[in-house]
Structure 1
Amino acid sequence: MAEAIKISIQNGIGAISFSRPEKLNSLSTDLVESLTEAMLSLDKNAEVKVVLLSGEGKSYCAGGDLETIMQFTKPDEIANYLQKAINLTRIILNMEKYVISAVHGYAAGAGFSLALASDFIVADRSAKFGLSFVNLGVIPDLGLMKLLSERVPMAIAKEWIVSGKIVGMEEAKNWGIVNKVVEGDLLQEASEFAQVILKGPPVSNKYVKKMLNHSVQLPWEAFLEQEIMVQAHLLATEDIQEGLNAFLEKRAPEFKGI
Structure 2
Amino acid sequence: MNSSTTITAQFSTPNRTRMIATAFLQLLWRDLWVTLRTWQTFLAMTLVQPIFFLFIFGRLLPMLGQANAGYGVLFLPGIISLTTVLTAMQAVSMPLVIEFGYTKEIEDRLLSPMPVWMVGIQKMVFASIRGLIAGAMIVPLGRLILGSGFSISFEYWWLLIIVAVLASLVGAGLGLTLGTFVQPSQIGLMFSVILTPMLFTGCIYFPWAMLDKLRWFQVVTCINPITYASEGFRASLVPNIPHARLVHHRRTIRFPVIVHLSGCQGISSQGARLQSLIHLAKGRRCLA
TM-score normalised over the length of structure 1: 0.28
- Structure showing the higher strand proportion among its residues: 1
Q: For the pair shown, which has the larger CA radius of gyration, 1 or 2?
A: 2
Q: Taking CA–CA contacts closer than 8 Å with sequence separation of 6 or more, which of the two structures ends up with the larger relative contact order?
A: 2
TM-score, normalised by the number of residues in structure 2: 0.26
